[in-house]
A and B are shown apart, each in its own frame.
Chain A
């Protein structure tokens, strides 16, 4: 938004408009359909299936990073894949969030002893939500999205705090 450049990022009009945009963003978190490994069956395929149906939370898959808000890193990231993950993250437009799904992308998981595996995708890109499990159940992924929604709402409070501290 160019509004912050016009009015400054602690102006009330900017905070209120961002609050509105955050409300809209939190209710349409589109994730990138990028399956790396086993977790993609739970986090992407079962999630878009009829039982768990993430669509009712406004969470839906997109094939193209340009249209996506959330990158679910679902699987082991090795040095060969790291380039791809980083490039996809950079292709996504701001604001963007990263959900690290499963033990592999959190810490390296069962494969952390193998030398070409990243010990957590947070060495590579900033991560907002970590989901434990190998693999996590789709319910956990749903809970992660609800937590992500809370996190997005909290941005307004942060901005208001910054304004209060300025005053």
Chain B
């Protein structure tokens, strides 16, 4: 686990150190590129070379299978190299970095208001969460008071976005286990949520809505109408999904008892979010460290002990139900009066200091660590992606499963590679 974080750290610094010999480099090659000059032609992935050089690996009867980054069952730009004995998975090694594009590095030369666009492209399935984490870190360091109306708007946008992201997970989980139909049902509902977000923020994916100090646009009639239509149908649709996918015996046989993350492993691998809650860790930042409007809302957090894919699906299904419940309460309260953006200077300058703040993203604790030396750009920004930690778990639990189950359990962690590689 620690090695994962060390790998990214090695990467962050060796990638920019000039005069380093790539052949001497012992770290993890996240960038696939180490010299200051772009290489001529195409770089051969060094990871494959390393495996070929490993002694004894190819002399056995075991079979090395390269899954991804282009593989129908891989969600995103992930390469998993699995060692197979028949169809039994003996070892699995994740290779990340196919989407490394320097979000943290580029954040160092962008102003605080502009980093939000990069955060959107980091956690691209739930842009609002990334923006919110950044905004909270900036507000904490700059001691900016956020108007209540902005908090209400952020909460509404985040809950709708959480639902669209969960649909995007549950549908492809059905696809992985052989159910094509539920995917189409869920994409239909996702479009309804995106329509509401589009009316509110002006964009379907890259919202750039939550800014330090507030939000970009005020609540409007169109988004209220869309939200009401969405809420009217959401319960009905969720029941439909339960019937179509979750209640199906075939799906249950495929997921119950598969991909188990034990409680101790979830604790020691720093699992958060739905992975933790499905493994018996009762932890939800919305309830335990309330932010936004969550302290005024009434909702439950479901925790299960089993830790298998079925438990994860149930936890996320319940999260969607709770999101609908929260949205109904929020609509009933109505947006509080007042401004939707705090009075801030055009160029935001933060005092010296270090700050970490996080939100409960759709996949877990999504945090931003800012190190400021004064001025309008951060000296260093660190993005805490929950999926990177979960990827280490996925890597660890895959050995000892059948290949089909291992693929299903990779998919059940809801990878989003903009977040892992940054």
- Is B199 engaged at the interface, CB distance under 8 Å to the other chain? no
Say yes or no: B106 contacts A83, CB within 8 Å: no
**In the complex where A33-B72, A50-B188, A116-B33 touch, is A84 in contact with B98 (Cβ < 8 A)?**
yes
Q: Which of A19-27, A34-42, A152-160 contacts B (4 or more CB under 8 A)?
A: A34-42
**In the complex where A37-B77, A114-B105 touch, is A82 in contact with B190 (Cβ < 8 A)?**
no
Number of residues of chain A lying within 8 A (CB) of chain B: 42
CB distance from B113 to the nearest CB of A (A): 14
> B417 contacts which chain A residues (CB < 8 A)?
37
Chain A proximity mask over B210-249: 1 for CB below 8 Å, otherwise 0: 0000000000000000000000000000000000000000
Closest to A52 in B: B191
- Is B355 engaged at the interface, CB distance under 8 Å to the other chain? no
> B105 contacts which chain A residues (CB < 8 A)?
114
- Is A8 engaged at the interface, CB distance under 8 Å to the other chain? no
Say yes or no: A82 contacts B191, CB within 8 Å: no
Say yes or no: A116 contacts B418, CB within 8 Å: no
Residues of B168-205 whose CB lies within 8 A of A:
168, 172, 183-184, 187-188, 190-191, 204-205
Say yes or no: A135 contacts B31, CB within 8 Å: no
Q: Which of B38-46, B151-159, B266-274, B377-385 contacts A (4 or more CB under 8 A)?
A: B38-46
Say yes or no: B42 contacts A51, CB within 8 Å: no
Partner of B99 from the list A41, A81, A113 (CB cut-off 8 Å) is A81
Q: Which of A10-18, A72-80, A143-151 contacts B (4 or more CB under 8 A)?
A: A72-80
Say yes or no: A78 contacts B100, CB within 8 Å: yes
Residues of B35-57 whose CB lies within 8 A of A:
36, 38-39, 42-45
Residues of A50-77 whose CB lies within 8 A of B:
50-51, 63-65, 75-76
| A111–B124 alpha-carbon span in the complex (Å) | 15
- Is B102 engaged at the interface, CB distance under 8 Å to the other chain? yes
Say yes or no: A38 contacts B124, CB within 8 Å: yes
- Is B69 engaged at the interface, CB distance under 8 Å to the other chain? yes
Partner of A38 from the list B98, B102, B168, B205 (CB cut-off 8 Å) is B205
Say yes or no: B101 contacts A41, CB within 8 Å: no
Partner of A79 from the list B33, B121, B190 (CB cut-off 8 Å) is B33
**In the complex where A46-B191, A51-B187, A78-B99 touch, is A88 in contact with B106 (Cβ < 8 A)?**
no
A35-B76, A79-B38, A110-B118 known, 4 other contacts, Cβ within 8 Å = A50-B184, A79-B43, A80-B43, A111-B106
A–B Cβ pairs within 8 angstroms, 14 of them: A37-B99, A37-B124, A37-B418, A38-B121, A50-B188, A76-B101, A78-B33, A79-B38, A79-B42, A80-B29, A82-B43, A110-B117, A116-B15, A135-B204
The 5 A-B pairs at the shortest CB distance, nearest first, are namely A80-B32, A49-B187, A63-B72, A114-B102, A38-B124
